Amino acid sequence: MSLKIRLARAGSKKRPYYHIVIADVRSPRDGRFIETVGAWNPLLPRDGDRVKLNEERIKHWLGHGALPTDRVARFLDVAGIAKREARNNPNKAQPGKKAQERADAIKKAQEDAAAAIAAASAAPAEDAAAE
């Protein structure tokens, strides 16, 4: 049986509250779980008691092969229970393919317009010099 340490949503509409649970990977997000090992209230300020963890039980389940999801791994890293590898995605800030094409088209149009203005301003100066 493959286990995950993950979030199960609770709370009402637009007022989320999450339980940190141990569950089989095949069970639904808010469905059957084995044990509750913590809670996360994202509505509380960051410096308060936003995350509550039962460290002893989490260490027990990590020892039995349970894998945390990315969000839970962040909580465990902050609490010092498990180390989370830093991720690096250098392409994240770049726009998509179509947006890059639009930007290139706009840039080319601006360069063409600048070249036309430069040619137009140079032409009268040449005519004045020729006379």
The model's pLDDT over 46-80, given as tens digits with 9 standing for 90+, comes to 888 899 999 999 999 999 999 999 999 999 999 99
pLDDT digits (tens, 9 = 90+) for 75-131: 999 999 988 888 888 888 888 899 999 999 999 999 999 999 888 887 775 555 555
- 4 vs 72: CA distance, rounded Å: 10
- 82 vs 73: CA distance, rounded Å: 7
pTM of this prediction? 0.67
Q: Tell me how far CA of residue 67 lies from CA of 62, 72, 73, 116, 124, in angstroms.
A: 7, 9, 9, 62, 74
CATH homologous superfamily for the domain 3-79: Ribosomal protein S16 (3.30.1320.10)
Contact 23, 6 (CB under 8 A): yes
Q: Could you tell me how many residues make up the chain?
A: 131
User: What does R_g of the chain's alpha carbons equal in angstroms?
Assistant: 29
| 24 has pLDDT over 70 | yes
* Domain locations along the chain: 3-79, 88-131
